[in-house]
Structure formats: structure tokens, C-alpha cells
Structure 1
Amino acid sequence: MPELRTERLTLRRWQESDLAPWAAMNADPEVREHLGAALTREQSDASVALFQEEFDQRGYGWWAVEVRETGEFVGFAGLDRVEDHLPFTGIEIGWRLARSAWGHGYATEAARAVLAFGFDTLGLPEILALTTATNLRSQAVMRRIGMTRDPADDFDDPNEPEGPLRANVVYRIARAEPTS
């Protein structure tokens, strides 16, 4: 699993010490506002085991994100396959940070590193980002990293009941073609 470094962050393999703060994030109703119900500690721990397994199998996935200066775990960022039940296919970028890490530009910084990995290392032609229509903070990050939204791509998640998590938006960015 490659490690990614930015000016302020390290995106790395998950560690045992990440489990408790990850579980706390997944139990925080504000962090989960656009994601659905809070996770139990067992569900949260199981998600990390799945992240590690998928990364080992595919060579990409969800990195743990820590602040380089302090070593503090602040969330995750990475790439995943678009879920099978959605009306399109591709690779999506995502991030989730603890509330204490909001407002510092960490999501944008981590996302830029993940985009570079996806395009430069994996050679992906395009990367998508999905979120609920009400998640304006994540949409702002998507725009900051150069993604654009086509409302024709927006969709209702068939796995969500009527409510604020059902309507979703899609942002896209294509790999820049090399100049000759």
C-alpha cells in the first residue's frame, strides 16, 4: 500500500491506534449527517478490515489520513469502485474527516493527492465524486479540486428511502491529456 504525503498530511495504511478515533467519527451525528445512521464500534472496525483487504487486492482504496506535524488521525480519503446498484460505473474519490479537522483545507489537500495517484499511478481516465444534494461542503471540495457537475448525472439512490439522503449529485474530472 503506497503512502501519499502532502505538505501537511500523510495518507497511509490503517493502524490499530486509528480504530477508536475512526469509531468516534462514525458515531458522530454531524459527521454522519450525509451518510446515514451512526455505526457501532464493531461496524466501524469491520469497515477498516474491509478497507485494508480491498487495498491489498486492488492496489487502491481508502487511506487513513493523519496530520504530519502531530501524527493525529483525522479521517480517511481515497478511491473506490462505484457501487453496483448505481446507474453508472467508474472509480469514485471520497473523504471523511473528524469535525475537529473541518475548515483546515485537509479534505482538499488529501483529495488532490488522491487524484494525482489515480491519474498518475493508476492511469485512470476519469474520477467521479458522489454526495447527497444537500452536502454543500463536500461539493465545495469537489469544485476546488477541479471537478465539475453535470445535473444530467444526478440520481436518486435506490437504496435510500425518501428523504435527504436519496437525492445525489455527481461530479467528474478527466485526466489531463499530456501536451506535446
Structure 2
Amino acid sequence: MNRHRQPPSPTQRLAFRQMTEDDLDDMAALLGDPDVMRHYPRPKTRDEALAWIDWNQRLYRQEGYGLWLVALRSTGEFIGDCGLTPQEIDGATELEVGYHVRADLQGNGYASEAAAACRDHARDVLRAKRLVAIIRPDNTPSQRVAEKIGLPFERDAISGSGLPVRIHATDL
């Protein structure tokens, strides 16, 4: 699967690339923002943001995908991250689409645009058969994004960290 290391193709407004340590300032600000991380147990520290980058670099090497850095094509401005990660849910490993958009840029459709590009990448490049989004029950904006890109609500579950989640899923 390593031949698939390329990120998704650019969209009308967004470009994707692999994260590097040079992105630590942007990723630490994103993952440390209480608004962005309000559906997580807590915002991440700078060290945890570096671990997030390291985790994604490991995924790129091992799986050929991960969460990619998302930027505006027109200016190169950092938007957030979006991509694909293997997640264990109910004892099965599923391919998840995930996304984080800077709090000041939410509501512009960037998450839906990026997530749709990652869905297409999962289907067309990785040849994935199924895609899920694992979302906290109170995170209605992310649930709307999942539904907008064709991942309807499937079932309630408990995450690996013991939190209730909603599984949105579709066959690709």
C-alpha cells in the first residue's frame, strides 16, 4: 500500500500535504485550541501536538495515508488537518475520515470539502471498501459534515477511551 503515499488531490480551494515537524506551531495552536478540541477530553499540549505529527508520519510510512495538513490553495494559509486513520471500534479496525479546522475558519465549508476529497481518495486511490467517522454525540457540526459527504449515522458505540460515540459509515 506504500505506493499510495500521495495526499488527496487538491480541491477547488484546498491543498493537502504530509505534516512535518515544521508544522508544529500551527498544529500546536490548532490542537491546543479549546474551541477546536471541545469534543475531546481536553486540548493537546505542544508535546502532544508533536506526538500527533509523529503519529501521522508513522501512518504515512506504514499505511500510506494519515491526517494531512490542509491549506488554502490561493494563499497557502494553514486551515487544519484532515485525512484517514485506522481506528479500532467494537473490536474491528475501520478506516476513519477525521478533520480539524481552525476555530476562526469554521463555517466556511472547509471541513466538508476536505473530508469529501479524503473520502474520494479512500475510494479511488486506496480502494477502501468502507469509511467511517467516529464522532462524539454532542458534536453536531461534525455529524453534519459526515452526513454531507455521504456517511449517514449507523450506530452508537463506545470509543477505545471509553467515551460514547456515534458511528457514521458508508460502503465505498
Give me the TM-score of the superposition, normalised by structure 1: 0.87
- The correspondence for 1:58, drawn from 42, 63, 72, is 63
What is the aligned residue count?
A: 167
Aligned residues of 2:39 and 2:136 also touching (Cα < 8 A): yes
**Post-superposition, which runs of at least 4 consecutive aligned residues in structure 1 deviate over 3 A?**
85-88
Residues 2-57 of structure 1 show CA distances to partners (whole Å, capped at 9, x for unaligned) of: 13200000011124442102101111111111012121111101210220121121
Equivalent pair of 1:148/1:171 in contact (CA under 8 Å)? yes
Equivalent residue for 2:145, pick from 130, 141, 148: 141
Identity %: 32
Offset of 1:158 from its aligned partner? Answer: 5.4
Structure 2 counterpart of 1:29:
34
Which ranges of structure 1 fall in alignment gaps of 5 or more residues?
161-165, 176-180
- 1:87-140: per-residue Cα shift (whole Å, max 9, x none)? 443111110111122011000000111011100111111101111000000000
* Structure 2: runs of 5+ lacking an equivalent: none
CA RMSD for the aligned pairs? Answer: 1.5
Query: Retained in 2: the 8 A contact 1:18–1:73?
Result: no
- Once the two structures are TM-superposed, the CA of residue 60 in structure 1 deviates from its matched residue by 1.1
State the partner residue of 1:127. Answer: 131
State how far apart, in whole Å, the 1-side matches of 2:84 and 2:160 are: 22
* TM-score, L = length of structure 2: 0.91
More strand by share: 2
Output aligned runs, 1:10-159, within 5 Å: 10-83=15-88, 86-150=90-154, 153-157=155-159, 159=161
Larger Rg: 1
TM alignment of 1:154-173, pairs within 5 A: 154-157=156-159, 159-160=161-162, 166-173=163-170
